Amino acid sequence: MANNHAHVIFHIDMNMFFCSVAVIKNPSLKGKAFVCGRANTTKGVVSTASYEARKLGIHSAMPLVEALRIKKDLIVIESDWQMIKEYHYKFINLIKEYTKIIEVASVDEVYADMTQISKYRNPLEIAKEIQVRLVKEYHLPCSIGIAPTLFLAKMASDMKKPLGLTVIRKRDSLSILGNLSVKTIFGIGKKTYPLLISNGIETISDFFDEENKDLIISLIGQNSYDYVINHVNGNSSNVVEPNRYAQSESISTSNTFDNHLSNSAEILLELRRQTRELISRIVNKDLMTKTVTVTIRNSEFKTLNRSKSIKYTDDFYDIFEVVTDLFESNYNEGDSIRLVGVGLANLKSKEEVLKEDYNLFTYQSFIEREERMKMTLKNLQDKFGINSITLGVKEDEKKVDK
């Protein structure tokens, strides 16, 4: 295992990124209860909720129909992915002014190795400067966690929102995290923490209590127990990998549940998280996908892979709709599922796709338009004289031809 000594890892988590970008685009949304989702329909789920909406009990992954029951006049807007990508690059490029060792975890969060710059600047000073600059230059609030490992940095950034700044040193990890609920442990399954809580293991300190060790292992297994102990103690990776999600012809992600799931709503929530992760990766690389795959493995280790080809896209809602259809068409409510996954294949650069779309779908219409223009021109010339009307060329274009 890597030596964690002297490593300074930042986890920079944009606060309500989708909502922040929406307010930048439409300032009238500031201070209002609104959500990002699919507009003009009750289908789908809430992608992100503004703080005003959250105060009403509306939250991410909530079905839109349920959110609208809570607030009938809730404002629902569709995210502008082009603008989201633009501001994603803006905050990434700002972080690159401090370090080139950056790992993009999703469209709104990054890990950054600040070890080198921290040799001559205080990490807290750097973090505060980043926060101030992001707000001042781009109107983007963020929370930052500082720690010697990726796991602890992620845990730290989640502790204070919005505009939080938290430091976790290895020697202080348990004293800082001990009072937190076990459900805050990054990477723990959504069925694992209710199981722990229902058996009296409510906090991270409870998890570390030696008297509870045998009970915890009996509930979640030795591997999961060791995972939590090692990661909270700071004995995990301190390596930020910029090329972890390098471009390939296909990408995928999956999750094996410590406790098998049998509720379709819970499974779809996990599939939504996976879809969002993959979308952030292809958007970051300016890629689009044509083939969507869903993997389902039941408690008897029977694995089912189902794929569907669509028109090239990088739109979350279009892709998640396919994921939902593939899952619902191949899952019987009540079946015990141990793994689900999402894959995107036949990836191409957006530029390449747009060029192909032009050649394939618009070339003929372009030719027909040109023929109509020529016919119109001929009719006008016949009526007003051969030299009276010509097809214009801009002066700049004439210069280029020369």
> In sequence order, what DSSP letters do the residues of 205-236 get, joined into one string?
HHHH-GGGHHHHHHHH-HHHHHHHHHHHTT-S
Quote the DSSP letter at residue 167.
E
Write down the pLDDT at residue 245. Answer: 56
State pLDDT tens for residues 15-56.
Answer: 999 999 999 999 999 999 999 987 777 777 788 899 999 999
What gap in Å lies between CA 357 and CA 350, rounded to an integer?
A: 10
pLDDT of residue 283 exceeding 50: yes
Tokens of 61: 């992954």
Tokens of 60: 């991410």
* 109 a catalytic residue: yes
State pLDDT tens for residues 198-217.
Answer: 999 999 999 999 999 999 99
State pLDDT tens for residues 64-110.
Answer: 899 999 999 999 998 888 898 899 989 999 999 999 999 988 888 99
Residue among 80, 104, 112, 87 nearest 10 (CA): 112
What gap in Å lies between CA 112 and CA 387, rounded to an integer?
A: 65
Tokens of 358: 């032009």
Alpha helices (H) in 296-335, listed in sequence order: 316-329
Whether 295 and 304 have beta carbons less than 8 Å apart is answered as yes
Domains parsed from the chain with CATH numbers: 1-177 (3.30.70.270), 250-346 (3.30.1490.100)
| pLDDT bucket at 272, cuts 50 / 70 / 90 | very high
Backbone angles phi, psi at 344, to 5 degrees: -120, 125
Tokens of 314: 């990088």
Tokens of 348: 């191409």
The total of other beta-carbon atoms located within 10 Å of residue 205's CB is 16
The total of other beta-carbon atoms located within 10 Å of residue 370's CB is 11
The total of other beta-carbon atoms located within 10 Å of residue 230's CB is 14
State pLDDT tens for residues 326-375.
Answer: 998 888 878 889 899 999 988 888 777 776 554 444 444 444 555 555 56
What gap in Å lies between CA 125 and CA 131, rounded to an integer?
A: 10
Would residue 184 be called left, alpha or beta, if left means φ above 0 and alpha means ψ between -120 and 50 degrees? alpha
Alpha helices (H) in 71-184, listed in sequence order: 81-95, 123-138, 150-157, 173-177
Cα torsion 215, 217, 221, 224: sign: positive
Query: From the candidates 52, 66, 86, 109, which is the catalytic residue?
Result: 109
Tokens of 386: 């051969």
Tokens of 339: 């793994």
Cα torsion 285, 130, 80, 39: sign: positive
Write down the pLDDT at residue 383. Answer: 58
Average per-residue pLDDT in the chain? 85
Quote the DSSP letter at residue 159.
T
Whether 306 and 293 have beta carbons less than 8 Å apart is answered as yes
What gap in Å lies between CA 380 and CA 386, rounded to an integer?
A: 8
Cα torsion 386, 389, 391, 395: sign: positive
pLDDT of residue 398 exceeding 50: no
Tokens of 127: 């973090």
Write down the pLDDT at residue 122. Answer: 96
Residue among 319, 311, 64 nearest 327 (CA): 319
